[in-house]
Structures are given as C-alpha cells and as structure tokens.
Structure 1
Amino acid sequence: MSEPRIRTATLDDVHPVLAFWKEAAEGTSITDDVDGVTRLIERDPQALILAELDGLLVGSVIAGYDGWRCSLYRLAVLPAHRRQGLAGALLRAAEDRFAAVGGRRADAMVLESNERAQHAWTSAGYVRETRWRRWVKSFR
C-alpha cells in the first residue's frame, strides 16, 4: 500500500465526500447534504480532514474546534481499506490540529450500535464517557 495523503477538504470535495459517507460511514445526520458540508468547509476550512490513496478518497474525519471544545465526527474508512492504519493517521492529523489551537481533550460521537467503531476508538486510546448523554433538538 502506498502512503496515504492526508489533507483538508475543499469545496471541490463536497459531492465526493457525501458519496464516500454513503459507502463508508455508519448512520446519517441532518447535515449530510451539500449545504451542510459546504457550510462546514466555509466556516472552518481545517475541520474536514481526508485521506486519499492514489487519488481515491478512502477516509475522513471531522475535527471541529469552536474555541472551547474539540469534537470528532465522521471517522470513516472505505471497507476495503480498513485495518491498514488509515483511521489512526486521520486521528493523528485531527489531534495535531487540536494541539496547535490549544485544545486539551477531544470528544468523539460514536453510535451505540457500532461495535466496530467502538473498538477502533478504544484502540486509538479513547475512553467511553458514561456520565454524559447527548441531548438533541432539530430545528429544521
């Protein structure tokens, strides 16, 4: 396997990222659309981190930082490319970004039903926080 190219997304990546998530990511979000991904890239150009192998989009993670919290979303790798270190490379890039802006702890959103993802996060050194629950409200 050649070395992955880790880079931040551009507006040219919006449609490829959405197609990639349909194939590689678990679950869906209200913001999984052109408008949502476009707004993410325009608001925080460093947040959406991609992994490519020979020009093929094979991985993603959103490393959001709002000045207070470091949040991780959409860590995904194409099924045919899993267990090759791509998730680790993406997480290192996200953690480097957080460290550069003064972040002190990263939080990850992981589906309860996604045991494979829970194992990946545990392997990367993340610990499940059992004291908190997520509360949501959609307004569109």
Structure 2
Amino acid sequence: MSEYQLRAARPEDIDAVLAFWAESAEGTSISDDRAGVARLLERDPQALILAERAGALLGTVIAGWDGWRCHLYRLAVHPGARRQGIGTALLDAAHARFEQAGGRRADAMVLEHNALGRAAWEAAGYGREEQWRRWTKPLGVEGD
C-alpha cells in the first residue's frame, strides 16, 4: 500500500469530486453540483479536504466552520481504499482545522439508513443525539 496525501480541494478538482461522490458517497445533496462545490471553495478554500494517491481521489471530507460550530459533511472513502486509515486521517485533519479555529465540538450529518456510515462515525467517537432532529427548507425553489 503506497502513501496518500491530504490537501485542500481546488476549483479544478470539482468535476473529479462530484464523480467521486457519485461512486463513493451515500446519498446526494441539493448542493452536489458544480455551482455548490464552487461556492464552498470560494467561501472557504480549506473546507473540502481530499485524500489522494498518485493523482487518484481516495477520500473526501467537508470540514465546515462557520465561526460558531464545526460541521462535517461528505466523509467518503473509495470502496477499494476502505480500511486503510484514510477516513481516520481525513477526520484528524478536519479536527485539527476545527481546533485551530477555536471550535469546541464537531457534528456530522449521517443518513439514517447508512449503517456503514453510522458504524464509521461511532468508531471515530461520535454519538447520536436523540433530542435533535434536522429541519430543512430548500431556498429559491418554487412550488411545494
């Protein structure tokens, strides 16, 4: 197993990241498009952390810091690269980013039906908070 590198995503990575998520991530988000990822990179160029080996994308995590809370999204590792410590390394990089910024607690978005994801988050020391539920409203969308 050769080494891999962690780095912040750049605008030229957007298409590869979207293709990677389609293959390796669970579910899709309203922001999973070129414009959504470009906005993320423009607002916070260090938020999207990539793991790669020899130019191949192996994993991602979005470590979003809004000045108040630390949010984690899109932790994904390529199916052929799982169980090699890549997810742990991505989370360690995200946690370091948060701690440097003064963050006190990180939270993660995990789909209810994603058993593999729930197990990974539990193994990383995260726990579900039963008292919270996510409430959402799409913005700029007409109709229902």
Q: Shorter chain as normaliser: what TM range? A: over 0.9
Distance across 2 between alignment mates of 1:65 and 1:49: 13
Task: Give the structure 2 partner of residue 116 of structure 1.
Answer: 116
Distance across 2 between alignment mates of 1:77 and 1:25: 8
Q: What does 1:1-140 correspond to in 2, within 5 Å?
A: 1-139=1-139, 140=141
1:32 positional shift? 0.4
Q: Which has the larger radius of gyration?
A: 2
4+ runs deviating over 3 angstroms: none
Q: Which blocks of at least 5 consecutive residues in structure 1 are unaligned?
A: none
Q: Between Structure 1 and Structure 2, how many residues are aligned? A: 140
* TM-score (structure 2 length as normaliser): 0.96
Task: Please list the CA deviations of residues 41-60 of structure 1 after superposition, one character each: whole Å capped at 9, or x if unmatched.
Answer: 00000100000012100100
Letter matched to residue 38 of structure 1: A
Distance across 2 between alignment mates of 1:136 and 1:3: 39
Distance across 2 between alignment mates of 1:2 and 1:32: 30
1:110 positional shift? 0.2
**In percent, how many aligned pairs have the same letter?**
64
1:69 positional shift? 0.4
* TM-score (structure 1 length as normaliser): 0.98
Secondary structure at 1:84 match in 2: coil
Secondary structure at 1:36 match in 2: helix
Secondary structure at 1:74 match in 2: strand
Distance across 2 between alignment mates of 1:55 and 1:14: 14
